[in-house]
Structure 1
């Protein structure tokens, strides 16, 4: 096992041992002494191993790590079995020592197990002393800027991006002369350095008076500044100078000069902040700096002022095939490959990454085969030889560097968790983070209340994972790993027994704690060579088979994700309700009803019923003491006893934060109970046409309490969604301030803006949907001073104007309309707008929209269905804007039900009268969702604003 992962595992284990030690009861004589011995020894041994493994690949040490990992897993099994038995008896775990019979046998078993673990740990320590390992000196990690290894003649798909960046590099007529910083950002191996090199060597690049190219890597700021001074023909100082003095010297050298500097592979914002003062920002001098980086935060910082960000795209399928065949010397098979789907297996694995395509092509060539390869065999061979074959070595080093450079063991564990999902599978961000929490990979603390979001942000910032579905407010809904990174993750996870995958053969290893099935049914138990009683996490996509869905075999499950399991039915729920340690439960298949026995799941934190047919929610669900997130569309039974539930809710035991959501009709159950749920943060309500005035009154009271402003300085992310299309009366009339929400979505017949909306403190996101929106309603929106995202969905908008100083904080404005009538804007309105989305299939030209009035605009989003002439007009319009924003095409897709965002692809370069020229390198991979409908998976190019591409709430 990886030493870092072992350290993270041990930290979690020691914390659980502390829980046992803090109890006031002894399970046996000397229990506390044995416990404290384990707690003290484990961290010391792992710390010693971490130090010795730093920068050295030593077989003895790896044996030691694996030994300690096995020991730690056995200790965790022991703890979980204690907790399971205690949960089964509905008594605290320490009560197992106070009764007779079976409980005495349990106590003796625990005594024996703890003594054995103590002895094993002592033996491991003695072996460590017998076989010492000299601590190696620290070795520097290989640089990540591997793109230079791609030969010049092998460049494929670079013409479009190069043409775009050359336009930003050159002096454009009518544009202000000033220093511009161009950031090229993306995953390792996409060709960032090659693209920068082409810019540097271009005719435009050679026209600058002063030029320099430096590779930043792990160099300190002083070294970088010295190297730039040397290249711009200024003799560097003979004595060592600090960064401040070197910055002054370089600034004097570049003053009043038109200069072009390329800084390749910059890895931190601190380094940029140390050297940026060395570059003069003079007016009337069109200087350029190009930086390449894999860090999104670095790109945001470098290009925050008078800058431009270019996000590297994967190669499209045609370019990928061209590069793969070229490197493998199989060009003669290009025609047959074009007509076959076989090669798609390896193309998907390479995922449009030039470095991967080059490495795999050379791997195929090294096989010395003169025949067309069997692509399925090649795909499996690449995984097997990823860390041993010379042709794959450089790519493996890059992937390893991305993994080992993660700053914490928790981040590494979270990345490896992607092995639970198939390659190219779009994973819901919120689903992923809730599973991390349930698994214990991340733990909230006083220093970080949302460690899951922090881990995801870190992985996204490093471009190790990529966003797939982006909602209209530019929040990430789903993500996936790059193809070859996913191969690396699977290989590492399997080799370290972190997960077990089933591929049609026998399921191994036997003692894996996490099990994932991807469209592979196991009907024969003889193929199941794994101890299901030790499995902590089970994920099924497709059909599972009887052997896997025999939940009597499981005991210690914490995560059960069956929302995409096709052969799940009500008969399985009885045994699922005996999984007493489960924290995350997501159901799908043919589930129609939940049994009352669900009350046994005392530690359940997330219950997701969105993929089921459950309409009636058992009241026992509301009484689960640790339930935090509840998803679905349901109501309570008509016969429910309200007083019992109200007593539970009033006692303060309810931890429910997400109720998304419930149906309001003649049944008043959940609307009455919502008033007593004091920890709610996210609520979704559907009002049916059968709703009575009494039930609507109760809903109104519940909403009033939910939005009441307690002026909590923490500004909790409270959100409300109400669909009142079926209501016969205005549900929102009379709601009063002071009130608070971060996000509000209203869908119904909106003739005017409800008064409470303008009274909401710090409202950041607002989505309104109505058949028709009046000018009074739209004008009233201009008074929302804190609003950052506004989405209006309607058949028709009345003509109106946003006045000066309207919506002063708005970053993103989205219209989804049938008729292209958009509000006009006066100068000074929407001063911070960066994203304008005009989603109308019948768009006619610019429809009076003057983008020159938006000084910070970075992108305009249109439907892909608009005609070619309209797209051309918008491309020409943005070229006249000082920021030269991108034009993005939104392709209507069929995203996962829980990921409601659409996907955006870029439209760049010149537009001809008959065809839209999308440059090479734009991804257009097609896949199928669970319904069999085509889904276009395209990346979002050019999110230039820091803080916009955030995690959805």
Structure 2
């Protein structure tokens, strides 16, 4: 997953390097030659990473892959620093002499010689990384080494599920699966169960399957899982489920989907059937599978599908269907399910510790409640550690705890299913914000665009692509709306429960975000995106080992020390969000004029005026002054910024 983020960041970097070559900016022939060399190398690096991501491998090759990725990440960051430093240098040189006298001169402004030396170092890093890969090649793997999608999966029909608070859901589904009433369409009915991960969709479908498949109403029954499987594999498993009259299914060719469709139709022709397809991932997957079902003239057959994606559920049930949206458990049911898992019977007479913190983390999701209950039981609940202790180290347990295995796999599967780098990066970006901070959609899209997280295309601008990524995250139920306008448009959103903890753990471990929160720094080697939460940035000493000149995004919630608020240090900054910075003053704002690459600026606090030279920030696309006390959008319209609110 880390490699996917790196590959995507390099893809975004390539156009910047091409632009650098085209503009040339009076670069020497030697520098131009080095840039073209790195341009070719970057393209080869991306293809190499993509090939490694798609190639199956055994665990003993993983360490070598990580070693290579570490080399490539350092190279990618180094090249990006060179590109942005040169852009900053060019922007600085283009400013008037009066502006350069008024604004503090950057201390790390690259000279032509220094830039050439950095490029030479980048070239050397490419050679060294290549030599290291030659000395320690990753052994080639065969397809047999790849894990089977079903290798670790258990049949949910055989599991005694912990169904709490689902009576209403069950009754509604059974009502939809009942015999067609007079006047209803005489055709196949498809019922879709949709909701975010961990809500119990599969468990509910299995419960309904046991109820419906136990009688004599249906001639054919099947339960198949579609996750990580091709349509051919799903159809082959369906044939095997049909029973002893399908012994030939053992030798089925899963690549011949058309033939499999014919075989399924032959088995279902003129019969009543009930089929559950668990965890469908795409509309294309459903379209191929659906073509295997014969026309049902008497309307007696039923198909149930489960999915985490709203648009897929809608497509599955578009004709004579029903979409059932799962909801989270209420507080009473959440507490009941958690207590059943956490508290052994011999301790039922004990006074139960306060469970508020853990219930808030689980957010009414049954899988999270069961996982946390079993975990706390394993460490001595209710006489062991408190819920607060467990919550404080939840991300460590999610990554390493044995009882967290099912939840970890569910979360990782949701993340891995996101196509491409941009969508993954957009999701990880939510780690920049505290859990109690709803995010405005428009501001979020502007930030994604300003940081270059979404790849621009000739036929589509960055804001439109950012909006498409936002809509897909919403469609996949990975984020949820908080404020919605009268016409249904999302205004504010948030992450939730254990999904947020997973995003935090992943973004920090992949060096995507450097986070200061809970009186501790959670950082990797590189500080590209810096987020400071709730007065955890008041000590200057905590920042002495961070090179602020390389930070691309800075967001402050609460108070900050002088080092952090010295904006002359952030030469390559593109996003600056000070809306929730409590001690922001006019004097701090003067240093912002030094941020020549800044694209997004949000102000708050006691700011009463903007420095005149802010108009020189030619890359500034968005200026948000709504949270300032004395500034209004009309007062800053004259700065010729494309988006002032």
Q: Structure 1-normalised TM-score?
A: 0.60
- Report the 3-state secondary structure (helix = DSSP H, G, I; strand = E; otherwise coil) of the residue aligned with 1:562: strand
Over 3 Å counting, the alpha-carbon distance change for 1:508 and 1:270 in structure 2 is closer
Any idea what SS the aligned residue of 2:245 has?
coil
- Report the number of matched residues: 618
Cα distance in 2 for partners of 1:86, 1:321 equals: 60
Which ranges of structure 2 fall in alignment gaps of 5 or more residues? 101-106
Aligned with 2:315 (options 275, 295, 301): 301
Distance 1:11 1:223, change over 3 A: closer
Shift of 1:250: 4.2
Q: 1:443 to 1:217 in 2, by over 3 A?
A: closer
Which residue, 398, 401, 418 being the options, matches 2:413? Answer: 401
- Counterpart secondary structure, 2:304: strand
What's the CA shift for 1:169? Answer: 1.7
* 1:85-104 to 2 correspondences below 5 Å: 85-91=89-95
1:177 Cα deviation (Å)? Answer: 5.6
Alignment partner, residue 103 of structure 2: none
Any idea what the Cα deviations from partners look like across 1:692-749, whole Å, max 9, x if unmatched? xxxxxxxxxxxxxxxxxxxxxxxxxxxxxxxxxxxxxxxxxxxxxxxxxxxxxxxxxx
What CA distance in whole angstroms lies between the structure 1 residues aligned with 2:356 and 2:401?
Answer: 22
Deviation at 1:376, TM superposition (A): 2.4
1:265-304 mapped onto 2 (5 Å cutoff):
265-282=279-296, 284-304=298-318
For residue 162 of structure 1, report the CA deviation from its aligned partner: 1.1
Partner residue of 1:110?
Answer: 115
Deviation digits for residues 646-665 of structure 1 (CA, Å, limit 9, x no counterpart): xxxxxxxxxxxxxxxxxxxx
Paired residues of 1:560 and 1:584 also in contact (CA < 8 A): yes
- 1:34 alignment counterpart: 34
Matched, 1:171 2:179: yes
Residue equivalent to 1:72: 76
**1:520-919 residue pairs with structure 2 within 5 A?**
520-529=535-544, 530-615=546-631, 621-624=637-640, 627-631=641-645
Match of 1:131 among 122, 131, 136: 136
Secondary structure of the 1:202 match is helix
- Cross-structure match for 1:838: none
Instruction: Extract unaligned runs of 5+ from structure 1.
Output: 97-101, 632-953
Give the corresponding residue for 1:664: none
> Secondary structure at the residue paired with 1:386?
helix
Residue 289 and residue 619 in structure 1: after superposition, are their counterparts in 2 closer, same or farther (change >3 A)?
Answer: same
The Cα of 1:40 is off from its aligned counterpart by 1.2
Does the CA-based 8 Å contact 1:188-1:294 persist in structure 2? yes
Matches of 1:160 and 1:534 in 2, distance apart?
A: 54
In the TM superposition, residue 264 of structure 1 has moved relative to its aligned partner by 1.3
Displacement, 1:582? 0.9
2: CA distance between counterparts of 1:461 and 1:232?
A: 33
Instruction: Tell me, yes or no, if the aligned pair for 2:180 and 2:299 is still in contact at 8 Å.
Output: no
Give the SS at the match of 2:14.
helix
- In structure 2, the partner of 1:213 is 223
Report the Cα offset of residue 257 of structure 1: 4.1
The secondary structure found in structure 1 opposite 2:111 is helix
Which SS does the other structure have where 1:507 is aligned? strand
The CA deviation at 1:309 is 0.7
Q: In structure 2, how many angstroms separate the alpha carbons of the residues matched to 1:5 and 1:315?
A: 34
* Corresponding residue of 1:318: 332
Partner residue in 2 for 1:680: none
Higher helix share: 2
CA distance in structure 2 between the partners assigned to 1:462 and 1:104 by the alignment: 44
1:195 aligns with 2:209: no
Are the equivalent residues in 1 in contact too, given 2:625–2:631 (CA < 8 A)? no
Structure-2 separation of matches of 1:142 and 1:455: 27
- The answer for the alignment partner of 1:22 in structure 2 is 22
SS state of the match for residue 193, structure 2?
strand
Structure 1 residue aligned with 2:104: none
1:437 CA displacement: 0.6
CA spacing shift, 1:271–1:524, aligned 2, 3 Å = closer
Cα deviation, residue 476, structure 1: 2.4
Q: Computing the radius of gyration over CA atoms, which structure comes out larger, 1 or 2? A: 1
Q: Distance in 2 between matches of 1:252 and 1:231?
A: 15
Question: CA offset at residue 183 of structure 1?
Answer: 0.2
- Post-superposition Cα deviations, 1:343-393, rounded to whole Å, max 9, x if no partner, equal 333222222222222222222223246614222221233211322221112
1:108 to 1:282, Cα distance in 2 relative to 1, 3 A = closer
**CA distance in structure 2 between the aligned counterparts of 1:127 and 1:24, rounded to whole angstroms:** 33
Cα distance in 2 for residues equivalent to 1:105 and 1:414: 31
Q: Which of 517, 520, 523 is matched with 2:532 structurally? A: 517
Does 1 or 2 have the higher relative contact order (CA < 8 Å, sep 6+)? 2
In 1, Cα distance between equivalents of 2:494 and 2:4? 23
* Alpha-carbon shift at residue 71 of structure 1 (Å): 2.3
Contact 1:579–1:601 at 8 Å: present in 2 too?
A: yes
1:385 partnered with 2:397: yes
- Counterparts in 2 of 1:578 and 1:620: CA distance versus 1, 3 Å: farther
TM-score of the pair, normalised by structure 2: 0.87
The DSSP-based 3-state class of the residue aligned with 1:42 is helix
Tell me, yes or no, if the aligned pair for 1:52 and 1:136 is still in contact at 8 Å: no
For 1:186, the equivalent position in structure 2 comes to: 195
Give, in whole Å, the separation in 1 of the partners of 2:161 and 2:94.
70
Q: Distance in 1 between matches of 2:258 and 2:130?
A: 50
Instruction: Identify, as 1 or 2, the structure richer in strand.
Output: 1
Q: How far does the alpha carbon of each residue in 1:387-427 deviate from its partner, in whole angstroms, 9 at most, with x for none?
A: 22211122222222222232211211111111111235422
Q: In 2, are the aligned partners of 1:466 and 1:482 still within 8 Å (CA)?
A: yes
Equivalent-residue separation in structure 2 for 1:149 and 1:432 (angstroms)? 42
* Counterparts in 2 of 1:4 and 1:382: CA distance versus 1, 3 Å: same
Following the alignment from structure 1 to structure 2, what is the Cα–Cα distance between the partners of residues 532 and 312? Answer: 45
Does the Cα contact within 8 Å between 1:423 and 1:483 map onto a contact in 2?
Answer: no
What is the RMSD of the two structures over their aligned residues, measured on CA atoms? 3.2
Cα separation, partners in 2 of 1:629 and 1:254, compared to 1, 3 Å:
same
Structure 2 distance, partners of 1:188, 1:104, is 48
